[in-house]
Structure 1
């Protein structure tokens, strides 16, 4: 696919509408109508998954609280950043990034490696005396399982960074600000899905910790946004690895009952945020600025 094909794809519809609103190519009313129409065109199964039985469709107007919140946040940002009677674009980045989901698992035509393979090779090459970050979304255990495999082979200690929970509105506003500053956009649904998966992982861990002799310490550290040794070990176990809690080093790979690594097969993974320190989900190197007002 060409950059133009990808920029024109229906999967980029939400980003395109937000971009046009930020560039004052759509009025507030036009933006709301187009966003509602776009959501109404999604399949019934998709609407059901999104809790989206309340989209605007045809002459029937119903409310979708999640969509309403996002539209309100975009409008809030426009009002806060715009000067009086200004029609200038709020987009500060000269380029727009396109996320290429298949580049994560399909081999690059020139380098003959996938983005995940390149990231894992880079992780393995960093001396263990130096810190290394693996930031590839990590909302499912399977997304950090291969990084734990590298840590086991190199005997690098592992530390999970658990950040305090933020409200949905804060995450959505950050997304809009990042889009304007860097040209990188994350779809609303991707944010909602990732938030739900993180909540599911931590709920699973909390349930396990509640039956632990170190329950009080582990729960307190989790609530503070920190993590105890026991919490590290249980997060590793979710991905199928046993960790020594005292050293935080991976001891061995273990068998997992059922599908603990979560979700579907690689072929059916959804598009995820590619803003990744490890590089697993990179953006297209050829960028598009077709929509930006000069």
Structure 2
């Protein structure tokens, strides 16, 4: 999964810069620490802690240019939000698991924890950039500082962190921000939180201000749909058709979600994200 050049372009600010994957400064952690099963996304089974056979000695992917053609589509849609380089270069101070094998078990345990913390930092940073969420900005700034402090913990402390509890606390603030942003669509906004919309025919749908948090939009037809000011946190866009869709003001949308979807040159994107190379 290393060398994912479809990483997001950060919004202005030093914090966002640290939340973009930098595979050149990572020890291929997503290619080793994570497990995956043979499926439409992965050509083989791989247990957690075992290096992918495509991972080279320099921690780069040997088939990066042809991941989709070789059956590793799942690698092209993964995003660690910069957790890989943080664990590699800061938490473990540049010691890699090959030359310092005593770090391997701890490093692989800590990486998924750091990834969750960095994902929260991404969302909180975006919420702080939403003018209409200003009433909750003080609480969000406090959450940002607390989360950043967690990312600086030693490996043992990181491994023992109660991430679900922290995520729940932060998510409540993100939901408040979402409600403030979508308040202008009173009477129009649709609550589709966690909805099963797999394969749904939503071509040209007016989904402005919709709550689509955690919605299953796998293979949904969203061609020409208006998703401005829609909350898309955690929405599953795998194979969703986004040609002509307007996502310019959608929020809590990540590059990984876009990478999993099917769009084209007519799809309108937020300025903080880039058009996937496979579209």
- What TM-score, normalized by structure 2, do the two folds share? 0.26
**Higher helix fraction: Structure 1 or Structure 2?**
1
User: Which has the larger Rg?
Assistant: 1
Higher-RCO chain (CA-CA 8 Å, sequence separation at least 6):
1
Normalising by structure 1, we get a TM-score of: 0.25
